[in-house]
Amino acid sequence: MNPCEKFQARGRKPWKLGVQILKIAMVTLQLVLFGLSNQMVVLFKQENTIAFKHLFLKDYVDKSDGANNDCVVYTQHDVYEYLSFVISQYIQLHNISVGNHAYERRGSHVAPLTVCQYFYKRGSVSPGNETFNVDPKIETDCFNIVPLVPMHNGSLNDELNLTLDFHRLLMVQVGFKLKTINLQTIRRHELPDCYYFSIMITFDNKAHSGRIEINLDNDVSIRECRGWHIAGAAQRKTNFKMTFDAFIILVCLTSLILCTRSVIKGIKLQQEFAYFFNLRYNKNVTWSERMEFVNGWYILIIVSDSLTITGSVLKIEIDAKSLASYDVCSILLGTSTLLVWVGVIRYLGFFEKYNVLILTLRAAFPNVIRFCCCAAMIYLGYCFCGWIVLGPYHEKFRSLNVVSECLFSLINGDDMFATFAAMQEKNYIVWLFSRIYLSTFISLFIYMVLSLFIALITDAYETIKLYQKEGFPQSDLHNFMAECKDLPDSGRFRLEEEMPTSLYCCCNGFNKMESGPCN
């Protein structure tokens, strides 16, 4: 029965329906508000990271090609020059930065910049004589620089007495911490956050290939500012948002309790039906008939409510400046909102014309899963083959993850010419193999696998359309339920006292029952 029929049959008000409608509106509004704040936080982090790269990496240029390294140097002089530039810029930060950046303080002292070099304990390499003597144990040498006295124009090894043994050197890391305040949240009447940036600049020489890559990594933590004063209603808005989140938790908790109760009652009814059917007809209830008593939509709502409650608790902690887990919170709230809107299909399913999608997916799902398992074996084979053979020559095959993304895009018809053209012709055999590899993959998956996949869903859709015209196949459970001829508004389902859920309320008109009809 749908909620209206339940109200006509038993006079029960559709509490779950009302709670779900209220929850959809509130959860969506909560997600929009949090999404705007999260977008501002992420954008502020990215802009600061770009600013740090321009401040501390000499001759840095923004890259749009997705390169893994920020800068590359090839000479010893460039390494010393880039290191000197980083330290000099850090010391002069207050005079050159246009942002509100400040040094981290430990008590009354400024936190120093740390320079560490990692190298083999012993190393002697002579490529001309084809000899080497290396102790693979790694040693570390670090020193600190306090940003008080600016550097002169002399070289780094003259002022800091730093000498790098490039034959043994693995990498050099320069680390320091900065702080700033995100003042743009004031425009949205929110309290600004204090940001702590842990910046690490790495000179990577692990490959010893004559090419040292320089990368800047920025680890961000967000904390509540110690002292603040804002003329306006920022604090009141924060309290309102936390109250709104608490009310959402209450609504979702109510929905969770109602749906859990319905699932438990369905399981009890399933057990009672199985016992009755076995006792009366000496038949065992099939697994598919047992699953008819477990409402999958309720389980979906329970999962959604659990994610919403967890995400709302994290959001309250974020608003209270106790946590800064924006990414985790966004995943929880985003997934819960997705499931909430998917759950709306349940109520559209009460109308025959809107129920085609759900019935088609349910009918095609077993065959689609079996088909995908077989196709996945071929797909994985192509992934491994492409990674091993084409990886050294093609940037789209450098790792299994990138290979999988590339092949999936080829299935959808994207970047075909670019994938063919990007193959380097340094090795003719590999180049010829790449043509055969890509051509067979595209032909197999687009013209055969994808077409068969669509055919499975189309066949299920046609079957459902036929069932809607001629009637759906009836199981023993449906035949048993069909014996109940009473309409929801007949009044036969209303009880003087509320009784536990029972099968025997459907036994009116069931001629094969020995006992009389239920009250």
Higher-confidence residue of 198 and 358: namely 198
Is the separation of the CB atoms in 174 and 115 below 8 Å? yes
Confidence of residue 346 (pLDDT cuts 50, 70, 90): confident
| Residues 59-94: tens digit of each pLDDT | 888 876 556 677 899 999 999 999 999 998 998 888
The dihedrals phi and psi of 346, each to the nearest 5 degrees, come to -60, -45
- β-partners of residue 388 are none
Give residue 119's identity as a one-letter amino acid code. Answer: F
Residue 383 CA: distances (Å) to CA of 389, 423, 444, 445: 10, 16, 14, 13
d(CA 375, CA 371): 6
For residues 166-174, average pLDDT: 90
Is the separation of the CB atoms in 79 and 212 below 8 Å? yes
Judge if pTM exceeds 0.85.
no
Is the model's pLDDT at 391 over the cut of 80? yes
Which letter does DSSP use for residue 337 in this model? H
**3-state class (DSSP) for residue 258:** helix
| Residues 446-455: tens digit of each pLDDT | 989 999 999 9
| Paired tokens of 422 | 């990007």
| Residues 463-497: tens digit of each pLDDT | 888 877 777 777 766 666 666 666 656 655 555 54
| Residues 248-281: tens digit of each pLDDT | 999 999 989 988 988 898 888 888 888 887 887 7
User: What DSSP letter does each residue of 418-451 carry, written as one string?
Assistant: HHHHTS--SSHHHHHHHHHHHHHHHHHIIIIIHH
**3-state class (DSSP) for residue 501:** coil
Confidence of residue 510 (pLDDT cuts 50, 70, 90): very low
| Paired tokens of 509 | 């008109």
| Residues 284-295: tens digit of each pLDDT | 877 777 777 888
Which pLDDT value is given to residue 488?
59
